[in-house]
Structure 1
């Protein structure tokens, strides 16, 4: 993985990198926001959506963002070096010292990282399980991609079976919210539905695209509603729309609506092109 670090508008040289990270509140408290984005051909097709969510999260936490022109220039330069793969942008609150009281005027500590594109998905669809770890309700943090992801880490630590691709998480009221690293859509009564993220969960960029592209709706989902759905998909901005083949003992055959969703996404985002050898229903 490659990385580039900044404090405010200044790039941090290697000798000062460790101090800038360890003394920052992002390292100490997860006091920051981040975006994980799919790059292809030297661009990020969904950058406007990522930028908007980054700004929303930073405003919610009262963290000043880097100057817009500076951030755009550095991102463009980073993409010239890392044209295809996954780009991560992290913005943490600046200022060190002990204690929780934030310094609202401190220059942000921010970083650009690059890694390889994810491996192809499992042929035939994902295999899921239910997670026991619950998502707590906190409307002030709901929807944004903040730096504290301990609930997802605890949920992902629940299994080591390589035959399981992902886990679905519920909230403390037992409503289904999302997977550990993706949003969930279910096909019911001929329409796509996804859980709201007003109390917990992340408002994914791919989720936002899917809501608009398919006139999908939001509703609270029970375990029974998910397990009885006509079809399930997971989605995120790095891997696109992923069909689900099994959840526990429940299985799903390939569904034409899922194939249609993937075709439309491929037309909208070149990183999610469909393998021409794949036989879609």
Structure 2
């Protein structure tokens, strides 16, 4: 608790050890600020969003979906081992690097110190990807991430969301009570995987038990995956982005990069003016 000298108002002060932040924040390279913006500098995955690629292809083959799904499972398994629940699984947060490997982005909704059996209750996430237990305002655990994987897998395999309505109330009702309709061309293994991940009871959901990612990895849909080779990135991705250089942004929205360039120029101008005023 601290009191500001000028106004005499009381404020709560949160204190974090620098060494802890340095250990945990591995994706933040640099940061700076302007009068209007806080800017964080992170790794650039110039293969683009999975969302972009799915729009271009309409659906992915089961082979391609299996590869991306398997890398997502490994990534979530690692986060859960570190007692982190991700809570924002969606296509827009899944990026490809220049070689075609998956990278999970945007950790703003993560919750730390959640292991098997631990619970939290914050209502957060993207509406179409919210698990039933979140909508019911119940305490929930890391199983919400496996629901998100189920939604993502369904999207990649079918080209659409398993539950959708423009009206959020109707959408939430579908998530809570609706059944899943599968495309007729999907294999039995693919249907069973998605159906097992989209079980409404988190305790019965695939991955919802103490073995977490190991149960998902053992599913027949992933039977052909060599998990050790996948972990070491020794399996060639089914799609390699056609990028010509490290600065190639062709897989990203051009409007986004116009805004980014404007902010970059603005930041450089701001720092230049500040440097002149200090002389």
Q: Normalised by the shorter chain, which TM-score bucket?
A: under 0.3
TM-score, normalising length: structure 2: 0.26
TM-score, normalising length: structure 1: 0.26
Task: Give the number of the structure whose alpha-carbon radius of gyration is greater.
Answer: 2
Higher strand share goes to which structure? Answer: 1
Higher helix share goes to which structure? Answer: 2
